[in-house]
Amino acid sequence: MFSRQFCVKQAANASSIPSYRPLGSSPIKQLRATPSILPRRTMASSSKVHLSPSQQPQFYLPGISSETADTTSQLLQENHEKHHIFFNQSGFHNHIVHHLLTLFALNASPTELKKGYKENLSYQRRMEPLEQSVVKDMHELDRYKTYLGNGEYYHEFLAFYQEEIAKKGWQNVLNEYVFKGDERADDMLCRMFAGFLHPIIHLGFGVEFEQPAIIAEALAQAAVHDAWMMPLFLGCEKMVKEKNPNRTPSTKSVVEILDEIRADKKLSEAPQWGDGNKIRDGLLKRVPDDMIKYASQYIVADEKELEEKTAEMINAIVYYTAAAQHPPHQVKIDFYYMHCVNCSIFFPVFLSQPWLSTPNKIRLLEWKVRNDLVMYASRRSPKLLISEIRDYKSKKNSEWQDVFARVKSFPDDGHASKLVRALANGQKICEMFEGRKGFVVEGDMWRILGNMAIDSVEAGEPHWVRSCGFEEAWRGVPEREQARL
């Protein structure tokens, strides 16, 4: 099984990403580092962020200094104490945690870290004063439910989960509140996938970097999101139980299911440009049964499939995210699809956790892929042009190290840097499965995609296209240069 961590060596002229496995070639079950291999990071707590230069996240560049670790920790601590998870009343997300931890993993300098923080500091919303009586109230389950889905209680949920983690440990809290399988846990698991995956992305960072304070933020963030996707997730599980009680593996790849979704005009044309939320108001309102029919075709039969199915998930979403282009317009990445890619890096992390049961690892991956299928359909199932990847010509044609350097200096809220790191990680996860069914992206296409990602945002506004299957989404996107036609 694949190793949890991938480190990029400093190879200036490498056309691919050299890697080593710091913890050997151990199976996923054995990947947790022991104190004799990696010192325990005892200073991190449910209320304190503490990173170490010896940290080995899922994908990272070597040589991280103590100054970089200390700077990242200090900035994250300030954000943890001072800022709300939403930067405005409309529920737009604070991405500081995502941005800084990605920069840390890409071995940014303290100057680059401070610059990234400063660029996104001015518009953040201050944390509301804590109502301790509400925190106390949350310990009663019936009262806890009454605060869910309300962003005004983020600070109280944060304090509540800090208390729980301090008492029980973050692994036990996640198993109790997210993975237990009872009504409360299923509700929270659903909320993890809300807000275009922001809560589960936040959770992934917390688990990957072993930061209980970030995990508390992720739980509080999920708690203040809605759970309107529950009928989709539970509807898929109900259909599988009824039609395939033995969970016989499907012979269809994720890419084949994507093709079927696009071919179904009723489904692919259900979302409308004017829909406020194209999943909720488009798919789940107009064609819920049709969407469940396709999404439920994705099944992970058992533990033996987890490794390859995880890699297939990464490969498929990278394929549909990059190939959903609209010539002659400039190459742009869809903003919503991009979140599916950015989230993918954490699934090898989740699979490596010994405290997470195999059935929960399977369920988590199934929900992720079903969400990915829904996301593809929600943007009107655009035609996927593999030639847009294979034939892409970058003016700079950077090697990976230069792609990393470019994205670290790009003024961003973290979306671009997360995308580049997720693509680099995807290459390492998928390379052992090249040639197998469902693996469309292979070889040097990964480096090409790294260039495509940074080229597309460096080209100027709009940095992203939103809802790429709609003709309206491409209005305002410049046409590409004649040389690229």
At 331-343, the pLDDT tens digits run 999 999 999 999 9
pLDDT tops 60 at residue 283: yes
At 23, list the tokens: 């913890």
pLDDT tops 80 at residue 39: no
pLDDT tops 80 at residue 134: yes
Instruction: Determine the residue type at 435.
Output: G
- Using alpha carbons only, give the angle 319, 322, 328 rounded to the nearest 5 degrees: 135
**What pLDDT does residue 222 have?**
98
Across the chain, mean pLDDT equals 91
How confident is the model over 366-375, as a mean pLDDT? 98
- For residues 316 and 258, is the Cβ–Cβ distance under 8 A? yes
**What pLDDT does residue 7 have?**
65
**Phi, then psi, of 108 in degrees rounded to 5:** -70, 155
Question: Residue 242 and residue 431: Cα distance in Å, rounded?
Answer: 36
**What pLDDT does residue 41 have?**
46
pLDDT tops 70 at residue 276: yes
Give percent of the chain with pLDDT exceeding 90: 87
What's the Cα-to-Cα distance from 25 to each of 29, 30, 165, 186, 326, rounded to whole Å? 11, 9, 31, 34, 42
Residue 226: closest CA among 149, 339, 288 = 149
For 286-308, the pLDDT digits (tens) are 999 999 999 999 999 999 999 99
How confident is the model over 113-134, as a mean pLDDT? 95
Q: Say whether pTM exceeds 0.85.
A: yes
Give me the DSSP letters along 259-304: HHHHH-HHHHT-S-TT-SSIIIIIIHHH-HHHHHHHHTT----SGG
**What pLDDT does residue 21 have?**
30
pLDDT band for position 122 (50/70/90)?
very high
pLDDT tops 60 at residue 208: yes
**What pLDDT does residue 418 have?**
98
Q: Which residues of 76-85 are buried (b: 16+ CB within 10 A; e: fewer)?
A: beebbeebbb
Of 144-148, 245-249, 268-272, which range is least confident?
245-249
Higher pLDDT, 148 or 88: 148
pLDDT tops 60 at residue 124: yes
**What pLDDT does residue 15 have?**
40
* SS3 call for 79: helix
**What pLDDT does residue 8 have?**
58
**What pLDDT does residue 481 have?**
79
